[in-house]
């Protein structure tokens, strides 16, 4: 069941977005079937917060500067994702393994982008955009929390670190040492901590000094030769540098 007040606000925004010349109180009332007495305080609040504006002479409501700012922010995020995709495609072309991008959501990694090699592989890694995994036992997650002090990490996991395989790090001190290494070397490494037979390398991606995402390459153990892991490290660090050269303000 939808929330009526919220629905009305969204209906107003949608309506004004397709009526560039604006609409009067009466026109909006008729279009969304809401009494003017109920509608007016909603419009007043939206006007006060600059989501809509009221013409002094026309008495017509139009979209305001706040909606523009939100749209601009979305466009900027969209540009960032497109830029990341191009970098990921280059990585996949070189290494012929899956490349993924994740962001921190609470204490989990949320997988937001994925690129796979077009060439056939004997074994493919099954993964999907929208997947969530604990940050502490994934390379992406460790990269994302690499700047966290250990007390901050403990607050993320008040019940401790759960083991998923015999390789899962469950000791906060060991995890802290790993995070310190990641801060110094800018690359996170994970060996079968969440999935048996799989290792993963990742780098934190920064914008304006803040880690905003992470990029990873996963590879089955039987394909994880020393040469391949060295190449993955080189490609990811190069991708990190490329990302860091762009200002996503």
pLDDT of 133 higher than 70: yes
Percent of the chain whose predicted confidence (pLDDT) is above 90: 61
pLDDT tier, 1 (very low <50, low <70, confident <90, very high otherwise)? low
Is there a contact between 99 and 91 (Cβ–Cβ < 8 Å)?
yes
pLDDT (average), residues 96-115: 89
Domain boundaries, the chain: 4-63, 74-244
What band does 74 get if pLDDT is binned at 50, 70 and 90?
low
The per-residue pLDDT for range 22-62, each reduced to its tens digit, is 999 999 999 999 999 999 999 999 998 888 998 878 889 99
What local confidence, expressed as pLDDT, does residue 83 receive?
Answer: 85
pLDDT of residue 120: 56
pLDDT tens sequence across 163-221? 999 999 999 999 999 999 999 999 999 999 999 999 999 999 987 778 888 999 999 99
Query: What's 249's DSSP letter?
Result: -
Confidence at residue 15, expressed as pLDDT on a 0 to 100 scale: 92
Strand partners, 104: 109
pLDDT in tens, 221-245: 999 899 999 999 999 999 999 888 7
pLDDT at position 124, please?
54
- Res 42: pLDDT: 95
Distance CA 141, CA 131 (A): 13
In order of 61, 85, 91, the CA distances from 242 in angstroms are 44, 12, 12
Q: What's residue 147's pLDDT?
A: 93
Question: In angstroms, rounded to a whole number, what is the distance separating the alpha carbons of residues 64 and 53?
Answer: 5
Residue 146 has pLDDT above 90, yes or no: yes
For the chain, what is the mean pLDDT?
88
Query: What are the start-end ranges of the H helices in the chain?
Result: 4-17, 25-32, 36-48, 65-95, 139-144, 150-156, 172-185, 226-244
pLDDT tens-digit series, residues 3-19: 888 999 999 998 998 88
Judge residue 24's burial from the number of C-beta atoms within 10 Å of its C-beta, 0-12 exposed, 13-18 middle, 19 or more buried.
middle
Least confident of 73-82, 126-135, 214-223: 73-82
Chosen CATH of 74-244 out of 2.20.130.10, 3.40.920.10, 3.30.70.1290, 3.30.450.40: 3.30.450.40
Residue 72: the pLDDT is: 56
The Cα–Cα gap between 236 and 203 comes to 6
Q: Give CATH for domain 4-63.
A: 1.10.10.10
Model confidence band, residue 80 (pLDDT cutoffs 50, 70, 90): confident
């Amino acid at each position: 069941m939808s929330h009526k007040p919220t629905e009305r606000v969204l209906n107003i925004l949608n309506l004004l977005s397709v009526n560039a010349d604006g609409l009067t109180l009466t026109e909006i009332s008729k279009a969304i079937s809401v009494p003017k007495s109920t509608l007016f305080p909603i419009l007043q609040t939206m006007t006060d917060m600059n989501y809509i504006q009221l013409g002094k002479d026309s008495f017509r409501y139009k979209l305001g500067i706040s909606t523009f700012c939100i749209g601009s922010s979305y466009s900027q995020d969209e540009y960032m994702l497109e830029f990341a995709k191009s970098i990921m495609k280059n990585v996949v072309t070189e290494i012929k393994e899956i490349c993924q991008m994740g962001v921190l959501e609470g204490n989990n990694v949320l997988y937001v982008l994925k690129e796979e090699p077009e060439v056939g592989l004997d074994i493919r890694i099954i993964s999907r955009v929208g997947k969530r995994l604990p940050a502490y036992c994934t390379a992406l997650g460790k990269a994302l929390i690499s700047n966290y002090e250990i007390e901050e990490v403990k607050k993320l996991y008040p019940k401790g670190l759960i083991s998923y395989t015999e390789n899962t790090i469950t000791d906060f001190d060991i995890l802290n040492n790993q995070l310190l290494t990641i801060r110094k070397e800018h690359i996170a490494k994970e060996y079968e901590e969440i999935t048996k037979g799989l290792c993963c390398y990742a780098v934190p991606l920064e914008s304006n000094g803040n880690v905003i995402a992470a990029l990873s390459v996963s590879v089955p153990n039987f394909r994880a030769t020393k040469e391949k892991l060295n190449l993955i490290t080189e490609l990811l660090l190069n991708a990190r540098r490329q990302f860091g050269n762009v200002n996503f303000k």
